[in-house]
Amino acid sequence: MDAFPRNRYDNAEFIRGFDTSSVERDGNEICISFSISNSENEEMTLYFPGCTAEPDSSLMARAREICARISELDNLVQQSCENEWKQNGLPIENYDLDLAHIEVEQEIVRLEYYGAKVNTQWDAQFRKTEDGNWKTINF
């Protein structure tokens, strides 16, 4: 098994989950939650920070796009972890991360990760470029 596997999440499964779920309130936060099959927690939640009511259509479109490209974005995170591990020599367990949840805003999307073996929490932030690609902004 590859230490930094790619294509860990199924875009189609995320789209299906997103399309068949409803916006709900989790305490003070607006979110959408759905089941996924290949995760430790077997559920994914997309949060909409700053929203006090149902997100507008552009924010929902952004969230759906993230679901459609989740594998691509996670692969960027996995590549970054692999590069960092090769560079600094820390134990590989420090880079074994699972996707905890996603935060969707107009300008920035955050993929929040937690350590599978080491107690850590880390987020990967992305911004969409003018050419339609997603660029990492904090790693």
* DSSP states along 73-119: HHHHHHHHHHHHHHHH---GGGG-EEEEEEEE-SS-EEEEEEESSSS
Q: Are 95 and 82 in contact (CB under 8 A)?
A: yes
Instruction: For residue 124, list its beta bridge partners.
Output: 111
Spatial neighbors of 6 by CB under 8 A, at least 6 apart, are 71, 75, 78
Per DSSP bridges, beta strands 121-128 and 43-47 are unpaired
106 neighbors 70 (Cβ within 8 angstroms)? no
pLDDT in tens, the chain (139 residues): 478 999 999 999 999 999 999 999 999 999 999 999 865 568 999 999 999 999 999 999 999 999 999 999 999 999 999 999 999 989 999 999 999 999 999 999 999 999 999 999 999 999 999 999 999 999 8
Number of residues that this document lists for the chain: 139
CA distances for 64 relative to 2, 40, 57, 59, angstroms:
29, 22, 10, 9
CB 112 within 8 A of CB 101: yes
Tokens of 2: 């590859």
Residue-level pLDDT at 41: 61
For 75, list phi and psi in degrees, rounded to 5: -60, -35
**pTM of the predicted structure, to 2 decimals:** 0.94
